[in-house]
Amino acid sequence: MAGLVTTFGAGAMTNSIGEIRDADFLFVIGSNTSEAHPIIAMEMKRAVRRGARLVVADPRAIWMTSIADRHLRLRPGTDVWLLNAMAHVIVAEGLVDQAFLAANTENFEAVGETVARYTPEEAEEVTGVPAEDIRATAREYATTRKAGIYYTLGITEHTHGTDNVYALSNLVLMTGHLGLASAGMNPLRGQNNVQGANDSGASPVFLPGYQRIDDDAARARFEAAWGVELRPEPGLNLNEMMKEAGKSLKGFYVMGEDIVLSEPNVAKLEVGLNQVEFLVLQDLFLNETARFADVILPGGCFAEKDGVFTNSERRVQMVRKAVEPPGQARADLEILQDLARACGAGWPEQDAAAVYAEMAALAPKFAGIRHERIEREGGIQWPCETLDHPGTPFLHEGGVLRGRGRFEPVEYRPSVELADSEYPLVLSTGRTLYHYNAATQTRREPGLAAKQPEAFLELHRRDARDRGIADGDLVEVRTRRGAVRCRAAISKQVRPGCIWMPFHFAEARANLLTVDDGDSVTGTAEYKVCAAELLLLEGAAGGGPFPGAWWV
Ligand SMILES: Nc1nc2c(c(=O)[nH]1)N[C@H]1C(S)=C(S)[C@@H](COP(=O)(O)OP(=O)(O)OC[C@H]3O[C@@H](n4cnc5c(=O)[nH]c(N)nc54)[C@H](O)[C@@H]3O)O[C@H]1N2
Ligand SMILES: Nc1nc2c(c(=O)[nH]1)N[C@H]1C(S)=C(S)[C@@H](COP(=O)(O)OP(=O)(O)OC[C@H]3O[C@@H](n4cnc5c(=O)[nH]c(N)nc54)[C@H](O)[C@@H]3O)O[C@H]1N2
Ligand SMILES: [Mo]
């Protein structure tokens, strides 16, 4: 979001899911789409079947690479080299969309100068991707009109995540692939309502509707409506908060996150949490973080409350209460309202529809959206500024929202922790089809739990042989921060020298291993790269072929 706000003026997917099927060129980078976004992957499949070209840039072989025209199997963390080299080819071969550049962008010269130094031949040395593949991909992308970019955490979960987004934005701007159907720059959102959470101001910088807290005029509008004074300074981001646990932050209110499972370098975080004086957990279940809680407020799940979720394509959709929350559990909104009243804030009686209407009155992007309208018409995509506006399927039509799209030159910076003689392997982490993040929900579902009952570590046959490890053996994975035990899955998915594990499993927490160094702009941790070593545990019995990836 930070990268896209800077370059285009709006931090969201530029285009819609339904447009994917009509695209002629799909560039999927750092997204395991078929496992993490299966519905979107289905649209991609549909496009490929129609004849669209698909290029996947990913260190791992994933299901998407099995239907791709080309797999750019880059070394982890080298995306800036790959993307700058593609820009190099586009400039060198005169494929820049000059008309779009003149009418809609600024600062191209700076990028032109930078990418001149990023030759495909040198890129091949750094990334491992053949120079000819880089050239061919750049040409195809630049010369196809309906060409879209789709990316997720392989791009953002790095210390240079925002740089990666800038490098991608530069490609979009120099080819003019913006403001058109089936094109654009599409970050596929992770959680069902992460877009809605950002939209409504769950951020240390933004009030609802991406209005900055340090913008005096915006703040004054909210102060008048709420009858309170607001502090102008942005708060701490998530990564900063975790580092301040038990230091400047003595109290924690954790709602809908299992922090000791999903935050990086959790052994260090746990030391801080032990110093925290008061921790409230509002969750559906006693998750791992519950061990640190003083008070637990049982929240109702999605099926136990009314409200809206905003999906990846900015579409605000209704969620309706189907069943009553069990026991003492209550909808999150009711819990928060009661808490505010107990604190003397004097909040009025408001249902979810009234809360949304209040936000719409203060945030122009959503001014035309109401629960009643969605009930009548179905989901609406913002921006939607008036009650008779139909909503916006793709952004930047007829002009970039920022005014002019901004080119941001970026230089390659390596990941913070590289493999060395002591820790010679590169560990990356992520998710699988069968479990959802902290897995508090999916591991309670017997069908899913049976499909994937336990943690595993994927490794290349060569690295297994070097260490005397057989498929299914019990291994210990070690980094400078901690160690976990799980079974080894010998896999064709990972490159030699690289290992991979899911972060879903509480008994083998991948985040005991990861680094907590964050992106320089957003603080997002480098979950995708750290240095590791593997050890075969004595006496571990090989259990025959071990089912790691579901499709191999
Ligand atoms: N089944 C299931 N679906 C989910 C989730 C889940 O837990 N389970 N979680 C949801 C959430 S919150 C999110 S954020 C999304 C995440 O969706 P994804 O980002 O697709 O999920 P990851 O498993 O993190 O996969 C990241 C991909 O980036 C690649 N990658 C790693 N390092 C690099 C690199 O340096 N460069 C490049 N180019 N690629 C790299 C990995 O090999 C992998 O294919 O999924 C959502 N959907
Ligand atoms: N190593 C590694 N770590 C990662 C990642 C990675 O790729 N690698 N990915 C990161 C990413 S992108 C994400 S998004 C995070 C996700 O990590 P988390 O946010 O911790 O995981 P979730 O499973 O999405 O949800 C957390 C909690 O919300 C609760 N919950 C679900 N619905 C509700 C509700 O309606 N109300 C309330 N109050 N609680 C609810 C669940 O029971 C669960 O305890 O993990 C991050 N951590
Ligand atoms: Mo996520």
Average confidence (pLDDT) over 394-422: 93
Band of pLDDT at residue 1, cut at 50, 70 and 90? confident
The residue among 504, 492, 414 whose CA lies nearest residue 76 is 414
| Residue for token pair 């239907």 | 67
**159 and 208 together in one domain:** no
**28 and 135 together in one domain:** yes
Residue 549 has pLDDT above 70, yes or no: no
Q: What is the pLDDT of residue 551?
A: 43
Residue 415 domain flag: no
**22 and 152 together in one domain:** yes
Q: What is the CATH number of the domain that holds 472?
A: 2.40.40.20
Band of pLDDT at residue 547, cut at 50, 70 and 90? low
Average pLDDT across the chain, whole number? 94
Residue 388 domain flag: no
Q: Write the burial class of residue 125 (CB in 10 Å: 0-12 exposed, 13-18 middle, 19+ buried).
A: exposed
CA of 153 to the centre of ligand 3 (A): 8
Residue 225 domain flag: yes
User: Which residue's alpha carbon is nearest to atom 17 within ligand 2?
Assistant: 262
**365 and 444 together in one domain:** no
* Sheet with 315-319, edge to edge strand ranges: 307-310, 315-319, 380-381
Which atom number of ligand 2 is nearest to the Cα of residue 259?
A: 20
**229 and 372 together in one domain:** yes
Q: What gap in Å lies between CA 98 and CA 101, rounded to an integer?
A: 5
Q: What is the CATH number of the domain that holds 224?
A: 3.40.50.740
Q: What is the pLDDT of residue 545?
A: 54
Band of pLDDT at residue 181, cut at 50, 70 and 90? very high
**347 and 466 together in one domain:** no
Q: What is the pLDDT of residue 23?
A: 98
**359 and 466 together in one domain:** no
**41 and 175 together in one domain:** yes
Residue 309 has pLDDT above 60, yes or no: yes
Residue 444 domain flag: yes
Band of pLDDT at residue 11, cut at 50, 70 and 90? confident
| Each residue's pLDDT tens digit, 471-502 | 999 999 999 999 999 999 999 999 999 999 99
Last residue of a domain, one of 188, 214, 231: 188
Q: What gap in Å lies between CA 473 and CA 456, rounded to an integer?
A: 10
| Count: domains in the chain | 3
CA of 337 to the centre of ligand 1 (A): 35
Cα–Cα distances in angstroms (integers) from residue 531 to residues 193, 238, 382, 535, in the given order: 33, 24, 42, 14
Residue 550 has pLDDT above 60, yes or no: no
**356 and 279 together in one domain:** yes
**132 and 246 together in one domain:** no
Q: What gap in Å lies between CA 496 and CA 479, rounded to an integer?
A: 18
Q: What is the CATH number of the domain that holds 18?
A: 3.40.228.10
CA of 257 to the centre of ligand 2 (A): 5
The values of phi and psi at residue 19, to 5°, are: -80, -15
Last residue of a domain, one of 188, 215, 232: 188
Judge if the beta carbon of residue 152 lies within 6 A of ligand 2: no
User: Which residue's alpha carbon is nearest to atom 31 within ligand 2?
Assistant: 256
Q: What is the pLDDT of residue 548?
A: 54
Residue 402 domain flag: no
Residue 407 domain flag: no
Judge if the beta carbon of residue 526 lies within 6 A of ligand 1: no
| Each residue's pLDDT tens digit, 52-67 | 999 999 999 999 999 9
User: Which residue's alpha carbon is nearest to atom 24 within ligand 2?
Assistant: 437
| Each residue's pLDDT tens digit, 272-300 | 999 999 999 999 999 999 999 999 999 99
User: What domain range includes position 436?
Assistant: 425-536
Average confidence (pLDDT) over 87-115: 97
**18 and 104 together in one domain:** yes
Last residue of a domain, one of 188, 220, 238: 188
Pocket perturbation via mutation, ligand 1, pick of 84, 150, 152 by most ligand atoms within 8 A of CB = 152
Residue 405 domain flag: no
**218 and 355 together in one domain:** yes
Q: Write the burial class of residue 10 (CB in 10 Å: 0-12 exposed, 13-18 middle, 19+ buried).
A: buried
Judge if the beta carbon of residue 185 lies within 6 A of ligand 1: no
Residue 357 domain flag: yes
DSSP 93-134: TT-S-HHHHHHHEE-HHHHHHHHTT--HHHHHHHH---HHHH
Judge if the beta carbon of residue 430 lies within 6 A of ligand 1: yes
